[in-house]
Amino acid sequence: MTEPRPTDAILAAFEAAKGFMPLDEGLALYAAATDAAGRLGLPVLEVGTYCGRSTILLAAAAREAKTVAVTVDHHRGSEEQQPGWEYHDTGLVDPEVGLMDTLPAFRRTLHAAGLEGHTVAVVGRSPQVAALWGKPLALIFIDGGHTDEHATKDYEGWAPHLAPDGLLVIHDVFADPADGGQAPYRVYRRALDSGAFAEIAATRSLHVLRRTGSGI
């Protein structure tokens, strides 16, 4: 079976957007979101919006399934995106407050992609938003803070909201510490070890798990 593929316009918007996701992982994310939203008819949710690069693909898949993509971020950047760190982008600092602010770039990205009407952006800390959430989700994409504290809270806060047969997608999963930080990998292992998830696909560091049981 051929994998679903975004339109050329969506791919162009994805390639033009600031962010950290390579194309092959993006296509895998799009395929997972198309599958989950199409089967379940429920919203998809992302933790870690940044400038909207991955959001474009989730929103495009949501549009196809006549649902929405929800994306959560405080827009102040993760640890590694702060001044002096590897992934800092000086163009994303709000000069008035002197802090990172990725919200304006995100809004321009979604507008350019024509996907504003299919996206609900929530500005806030992931655990606080998760605690208020009350609707089942077709897919949860975890790509927020990459410390153990943040990744664990993202998993514990959001996984209970995943519908039966929904998909949990985790980014930056590296089994070998030489390849990257271990927090997403530990969350991935925890999900599998819970017995409530089964892995169905992996593209480089992007792993797709299906909810097969209850609990987390």
184 binds ligand SAM (CB under 6 A): no
Say whether residue 197 binds ligand SAM (CB under 6 A). no
Residue choice 50, 155, 185, 197 for contact with ligand SAM (CB under 6 A): 50
Q: Is 94 helix (H, G, I), strand (E, B) or coil?
A: strand
Residues 121-140 close enough to bind ligand SAM by CB under 6 A: 125-126
Q: What are the residue numbers of the active site?
A: 146
Report, in Å, the least distance between residue 74 CB and ligand SAM: 4
Would you say 1 or 132 has its CB closer to ligand SAM?
132
Does 109 help bind ligand SAM (rule: CB under 6 A)?
Answer: no
Q: Looking at 14, 65, 69, 77, which residue binds ligand SAM (CB under 6 A)? A: 77
The tokens of 29 are what? 């994310």
Q: In terms of Cα–Cα distance, which of 2, 105, 130 is closest to 55?
A: 105
Of 52 and 196, nearer to ligand SAM (C-beta) is 52
Exactly one of 34, 54, 109, 119 binds ligand SAM (CB under 6 A); which one? Answer: 54
**Mask for 144-183, x = binds ligand SAM (CB under 6 A):** xx----x---------------------------------
- Phi then psi for residue 76, to 5 deg, are -100, 5
Using CB under 6 A, which of 102, 109, 119, 205 touches ligand SAM? Answer: 102
Q: Widest CA span of the chain, in angstroms? A: 51
Query: Which residue's Cβ has the minimum distance to ligand SAM?
Result: 19
Binding test (CB under 6 A) with ligand SAM, winner from 4, 12, 39, 76: 76
**Three-class SS string for 99-143?**
EECCHHHHHHHHHHCCCHHHEEEEECCHHHHHHHCCCCEEEEEEC
What are the CA-CA distances from residue 55 to residues 6, 19, 89, 97, 121 (Å)? Answer: 13, 10, 19, 26, 10
Helical H segments across the chain, by residue range: 8-16, 23-40, 53-64, 103-112, 126-132, 148-158, 183-193
Residue 212 DSSP label: -
Number of other residues whose CB lies within 10 A of the CB of residue 204: 14
For ligand SAM, the binding residues (CB under 6 A) are 19-21, 48-50, 53-54, 72-78, 102, 125-126, 143-145, 150
